[in-house]
Amino acid sequence: MIRRRRSTKRGGRGDGSVPVYLNVYDLTSINGYAYWLGLGVYHSGIQVHAVEYAFGAHESSTTGIFEGEPKHCEGFIFRKSILMGWTDMTPGEVRGVMEEFAQKYRGNAYNLITKNCNHFCNDACIKLTGNSIPSWVNRLARIVNLKLMKVGHLKIEDKVCEGEEKNLRSSSSQSHSSPLPTTTASRSRSCSQGSSTP
C-alpha cells in the first residue's frame, strides 16, 4: 500500500515537497486560433521527479500509461507547463500511483471523448496534489460528450416512443376494449414519462 503524505497547506510547499506540473501539448496547428476561444485539442502529461507520465492508446489490454522526458512528447507540439501543486511522494511512491492507475488506464480502453490523456492527468493530479487540472485542457471532449449524450438520449427516447406506439396500435387492433390510451395526447404523455427512465 502506498503511503501518501501531503503538506498541511493545500498547494503549499512543505519540507521535501516536489512540484507537480501539467505539461500541455497542441495536437493540431489549429490550436493557435482555437486556444483563444477556449476550444483547443490538447495532449497532456504529468511531470514529477523529472519524469513525465502520460496515457495513450494501443490495441493491447496492457497499461497505456507511459513515461518520458518532460516537455518532449513525440508527435505533439509543447504549449505550456502549469504548476499544479506539490507532493511529498518519493519517486517510488509516484511510480506506485501510476501502477495503481495501470488497470483503469489500459491502452485498449482509451477513448478520445471519455477516457483520454487529459482524464488520466486529472486523476493523477488529484491523487498527487489534491488539485484538478484546468477545465480548458479537456473542455472540447466534455462538450462533445454532452452533445453525444443528448443525441443518444433523444435517439433512445424516439425508439421507446416508436415501440410504445406500435404496442398501442397492435393492442387497440386486437381488442376494442383495450385499457391502453390511444390518443395522440396520451401517447405523448406516455413517451415523456418513459423518457425519465435511463
Phi, psi torsion values for 166, nearest 5 degrees: -60, -45
Catalytic residue among 73, 117, 121, 125: 117
Q: What is the pLDDT along the chain (198 residues), one digit of tens a residue?
A: 322 334 334 445 555 699 999 999 998 766 666 555 666 789 999 999 999 999 999 999 999 999 999 999 999 999 999 999 999 999 999 999 999 999 999 999 999 989 999 999 999 999 999 999 999 999 888 787 776 666 554 444 444 445 444 444 444 344 443 333 333 333 333 333 343 333
Task: Write the CA distances from 15 to 3, 12, 20, 50, 89, integer angstroms.
Answer: 17, 10, 15, 18, 11
61 in the same domain as 157:
no
Query: Which amino acid would we find at residue 197?
Result: T
In a domain, 8, yes or no: no
Q: Are residues 36 and 94 in the same domain?
A: yes
- Count: domains in the chain: 2
Q: How far apart are CA 123 and CA 68, in angstroms?
A: 19
Are 49 and 96 part of one and the same domain? yes
Q: Based on the fold, state whether residues 127 and 190 are members of the same structural domain.
A: no
List the catalytic residue out of 43, 73, 119, 125.
Answer: 43
Catalytic annotation present for 73: no
Q: Tell which of 133, 159, 185 closes a domain.
A: 133
DSSP classification of residue 81? E
Residues 128 and 149 in one domain: no
191 is catalytic: no
Question: Same domain for 31 and 127?
Answer: yes
Q: Please report the pLDDT score of residue 32 as a whole number.
A: 62
Stretch (H or E) spanning 146: helix 139-174
**83, 103: one domain:** yes
End position of a domain, from candidates 81, 111, 133: 133
Looking at the domain assignment, is residue 63 inside a domain?
Answer: yes
Residues of the domain holding 159 = 144-194
Same-domain check for residues 109 and 35: yes
Structural domain includes residue 10? no
